[in-house]
Amino acid sequence: MMVAYQGANAVSNKIEINSLDLFYGKFQALKTVGMSMRENMITALIGPSGCGKSTLLRCLNRMNDLIPGVQVKGNVRLDGADIYDSSIEVAELRKRVGMVFQRPNPFPLTVFANVVYGLKVAGIRNSSRLKEIAEQSLRAAWLWDLLKDKLDHPALDLPLDQQQRLCIARLLAVQPEVILMDEPCSALDPIATMKVEELMMELKKKYTIVIVTHNMQQAARVSDFTGYMLLGEMIEFGVTNDVFTKPTKKLTEDYITGKYG
Amino acid sequence: MRIRPRYTQWLAVTILGGATILTLAVLVFIIVFVLEKGLPVVNFGFLFTNAEDMGRAGGIFTTLIGTIVLPLLAIIVAAPLGISTAVYLTEYTVETRATKIIRFGTDCLAGIPSIIFGLFGFIFFVTTLGLGWSILSGGLTLAVMILPTIIRTTEEAVKAVPKSYRQVSFSLGATRWQTVKRVILPNALPGILTGIMLGIGRSIGETAAVIFTAGSSLRMPSSVFDSTRTMAVHFYILAREGISSENAYGTAATLIIAVLAINLTAYWMMGRFIAKRS
Ligand SMILES: Nc1ncnc2c1ncn2[C@@H]1O[C@H](COP(=O)(O)OP(=O)(O)OP(=O)(O)O)[C@@H](O)[C@H]1O
Ligand SMILES: [Mg+2]
């Protein structure tokens, strides 16, 4: 099994990370991390608080660039091209690799204005085009029927789970290839969480998804591959089912069975 | 022995409430006092005819114009400069020694008495640049004077915009400038407007910085190179020279009403703006 999936790797890895080190000033938050994310699959990152999951995720669309004093070594390849290369336009990269945050964070604007934000930034002015993409994106996030009559309502008046899916719609509007999700359900109740998980299963048909989660059941339920991190290192990475049922490392087993800490 | 919480609570409410009432009372007293003395002379004729005999007779029309033009010029110059500086300092630079020194400098400037600005304006704009006593000299001096206030209030307003808005904007592929233009400035606008209002208020009420730079001519100015007199300066001269206390209070009452009107308009505009965005 392992051999088969590694063999396929060469063809359809969307993202490849090689010996990635990251420093916040003097503090090393990532230590020679290596892993890959396959196209149209969901990859989960799990591990205890502070192990570097969010840091690793932010490396994939260079959001770490915004933090003063960050230094990155090693490389991250998107479709084979190093995203830390000096020829890369960071804004363009971020359109290809989008992000959903922990707390739903719509702008204090209308539903419509939120969905088309990325498009306006990309210079699309044509209003029928904007409406068309807004509808597509809201449909893809399962919000169209709920919100089609509320497009001019303030986004912040929506319930939290709809806000979070609105954030997903806002991201889908810029037509990313990869979606990074940092604990996207941690502010949601179980029913809303299930809804987002179902949505992820749908979205992976078109997108490559990387999700950080504290919830191991969630990782087990939605992901195809799982990476277990500890203190900035990638301890174990493989097919989700294998990581959860027959981990190769003692550390992984301890964490998964709840013995950690 | 410890005082019972019930009593400390009562004491706190009394002291805090008392302070509030006292503040309000002083404010209301001043306004009522000035309006009561001044309003009887304020009418259409007073507002729209020129002063005669140095202000002993006639109205205050030219000073009304001066009061509109000088702060307007000041704000037209200071607002873009101040807002740009503040945005640059907060969004485009990381906190270093240099930015700290700049910030310290603006704080110091904000605390300097206005007469110093008047003196500076006199030496620099009036004499060195040869602009003479003029609307231009006065407006530029006022601009320099209110610049620190606008920079600081804008900085605070920009910093108060949640970090997550910036993150989302960047994550959707926006550049820094697009983020500033589309997210940060609109969300900071109420705070920025407050700074501008403070600046306008200070300019309208200013005498020392104006009298040295714009002069105190009562003639109708025909260009920005002419001298002018603002209502505040007019009031000062009328009262100090004992020319006409009636007209002095009339001027003061007009000034107070103008400031109130400006503030109310600003609040109304802000309210509408916020309602429209959300
Ligand atoms: N901006 C920063 N500056 C300095 N250190 C940071 C910064 N962000 C994170 N760290 C440190 O880097 C390490 C990894 O942080 P990170 O947020 O990636 O962990 P995480 O696995 O996402 O944790 P959590 O599950 O709590 O979200 C932590 O020790 C954290 O203190
Ligand atoms: Mg995290």
**pLDDT above 90 as % of chain B:** 73
Higher pLDDT, residue B144 or A254: B144
A3, pLDDT greater than 60: no
- Span B92-114, average pLDDT: 87
Most confident of A1-10, A75-84, B123-132, B185-194: B123-132
B209, pLDDT greater than 90: yes
| Structural tokens at position B116 | 């110093």
The verdict on a CB contact (< 8 Å) between B170 and A121 is: no
B239, pLDDT greater than 60: yes
Bridge pairing between strands A208-212 and A42-46: parallel
Which atom of ligand 1 is found nearest the CA of A52?
18
Q: What pLDDT is recorded for position B1?
A: 67
pLDDT in tens, B1-11: 677 888 999 99
- Ligand 2 center–CA A50 separation, angstroms: 7
- Ligand 1 center–CA A41 separation, angstroms: 25
Which residue matches tokens 């107070």? B256
Does residue A13's CB lie within 6 angstroms of at least one atom of ligand 1?
A: no
| Structural tokens at position B41 | 């002379």
- Ligand 2 center–CA B89 separation, angstroms: 29
- Span B214-229, average pLDDT: 93
- CATH superfamily membership of B44-277: MetI-like (1.10.3720.10)
Q: What pLDDT is recorded for position B277?
A: 60
Give me chain A's average pLDDT, please.
89
Q: What pLDDT is recorded for position A2?
A: 39
Does residue A30's CB lie within 6 angstroms of at least one atom of ligand 1?
A: no
The verdict on a CB contact (< 8 Å) between A91 and B169 is: no
Q: What pLDDT is recorded for position A258?
A: 78
A10, pLDDT greater than 50: no
Which site among A62, A96, A109 would you substitute to test the B interface, given the most B Cβ atoms closer than 10 Å to its Cβ? A109
A184, pLDDT greater than 70: yes
The verdict on pTM exceeding 0.90 is no
For chain A, domain boundaries: 13-103+176-256
pLDDT in tens, B9-36: 999 999 999 999 999 999 999 999 999 9
- Span A10-34, average pLDDT: 88
B180: closest chain A residue by CA: A121
Q: Please give the Cα distance from A198 to A214 (Å, whole number).
A: 18
Concatenate the DSSP letters of all residues of chain B into one string: -PPPHHHHHHHHHHHHHHHHHHHHHHHHHHHHHHHHHHGGG-SHHHHHS-EEGGGTEE--HHHHHHHHHHHHHHHHHHHHHHHHHHHIIIIIS---HHHHHHHHHHHHHHHS-HHHHHHHHIIIIIIIS---SSHHHHHHHHHHHHHHHHHHHHHHHHHTS-HHHHHHHHHTT--HHHHIIIIIHHHHHHHHHHHHHHHHHHHHH--HHHHTTT----SPPSSTTS----HHHHHHHHHHTTS-HHHHHHHHHHHHHHHHHHHHHHHHHHHHHHHHH-
ipTM above 0.95, yes or no: no
A143, pLDDT greater than 50: yes
Q: What pLDDT is recorded for position A248?
A: 86
Q: In this structure, which residue's CA is closest to atom 14 in ligand 1?
A: A52
Q: What's the pLDDT band for A4 if we cut at 50, 70, 90?
A: very low
- Decide if A57 contacts A184 (C-beta within 8 A): no
Give me chain B's average pLDDT, please.
91
B189, pLDDT greater than 80: yes
Does residue A14's CB lie within 6 angstroms of at least one atom of ligand 1?
A: no
Q: What's the pLDDT band for A94 if we cut at 50, 70, 90?
A: very high
Q: What's the pLDDT band for A260 if we cut at 50, 70, 90?
A: low
CATH of domain A13-103+176-256: 3.40.50.300
Q: What's the pLDDT band for A9 if we cut at 50, 70, 90?
A: very low
Q: Which of A159-163, B44-48, B134-138, B261-265 has the lowest mean pLDDT?
A: B261-265
